[in-house]
Structure 1
């Protein structure tokens, strides 16, 4: 196992000080290799040390302006600080440079989603789902984006796919309940809200949805 592999292994094991020591040593031995700066940036990002992480990613880009994973890391730094425009730019740069992985498409989609540019989020979340079809979070966020753009039939199909992957997904049930209300299927909505509460008793949105339905039913009696 090389030193850099050992450093990544330390990160996976949560041994952050040991990882930092390995990355420091590899940079001292190979100061012109951008990979080591990217790995140290990833460690600092994990530690929420955004300023230093940004510096390491930028150093990697200075050494190799084609280092796609450095742009991806830098995009994450901006995303974590709710600075969405530079996050988008860096994720898009990483994709343009050939980083064809679900994570970068997912993060770009999430950046558009958090920036309330719902339509723009759709193709990236869709692509992330194509690259990683069994990822529950990717499917769920794609469903949210579809719902936000009023594509309720497709959103319903997507949330049902989420439940196929994870039966006990309370938020998928909640959103299916909301869609059922739009379809004026009160019984189905109540069924989904009840299921969401059964899975997560403190699910406030589902609880409120159920309460509103019960009030409505009482008024109609």
Structure 2
């Protein structure tokens, strides 16, 4: 295990001061290597020292303009600050350089999602779910971007896929219930809303939707 690997392991063990000292030693030993700056930036971002983290990422980029993980780190930093425009720029740059990981596509998609630009989010969230097909969070958000873009027929199998991987996903049940309403399948919708409430009794959206269905049925004499 080299020093970078040792320092990363210390981070995982939440021994941040020891990790910081080791990263500092790595940088002092080879100040022209961007990897040390990137890893130190990751540590600083992890402990919410965003100002210093940004300086370390930018120093790494000065040393290597093709340091994709430095751009990814900056993207994360701006994402945490909810500066989605700057986050997009950096995630896109990381992908352009060649970073091909689910997280960068997911976070890029979510920058658009948080700005309600759902159609723009779709291709990135789709790519993230392709790279990690068993990740229910990526799949669910991909389904949400489709649903919010009114691609209801495309969203349905995605939410169903989420349930195949995680049968107790209350929000997937809720959204399938909403889709069932669009399809005028009140009974199917009610089943999904009931299931969502079994999993998460405080699911207010599912409760409200169920109440509306029951009101319709009561008024129709069912």
TM class, shorter-length: over 0.9
Distance, in Å, in 2 between the alignment partners of 1:216 and 1:44 is 55
Distance, in Å, in 1 between the alignment partners of 2:142 and 2:174 is 15
Residue 13 of structure 1: how far off its partner (Å): 2.1
Q: Residue by residue, what CA displacement relative to the aligned partner does 1:83-119 show, whole Å, maximum 9, x if unpaired?
A: 1111111001001101111111111111111111111
Partner of 1:127: 127
Distance, in Å, in 1 between the alignment partners of 2:199 and 2:124 is 30
- Corresponding pairs, count: 221
Distance, in Å, in 2 between the alignment partners of 1:216 and 1:41 is 56
Partner of 1:220: 220
Partner of 2:164: 164
Partner of 1:22: 22
SS of residue paired to 2:168: coil
SS of residue paired to 1:65: coil
Partner of 1:110: 110
Partner of 1:138: 138
Q: Residue by residue, what CA displacement relative to the aligned partner does 1:18-38 show, whole Å, maximum 9, x if unpaired?
A: 222211221222221110111
CA RMSD of aligned residues (A): 1.1
With 19-28 and 107-116 compared, the bigger mean Cα shift is at 19-28
Output aligned runs, 1:62-141, within 5 Å: 62-141=62-141
Distance, in Å, in 1 between the alignment partners of 2:202 and 2:7 is 40
Residue 171 of structure 1: how far off its partner (Å): 0.7
Distance, in Å, in 2 between the alignment partners of 1:71 and 1:112 is 18
Residue 216 of structure 1: how far off its partner (Å): 2.1
Q: TM-score, normalised by structure 2?
A: 0.96
Distance, in Å, in 1 between the alignment partners of 2:210 and 2:60 is 52
Residue 210 of structure 1: how far off its partner (Å): 1.2
Partner of 1:3: 3
Gap runs ≥5 in structure 1: none
Distance, in Å, in 1 between the alignment partners of 2:114 and 2:35 is 30
Distance, in Å, in 2 between the alignment partners of 1:35 and 1:97 is 16
Gap runs ≥5 in structure 2: none
Distance, in Å, in 2 between the alignment partners of 1:15 and 1:210 is 48
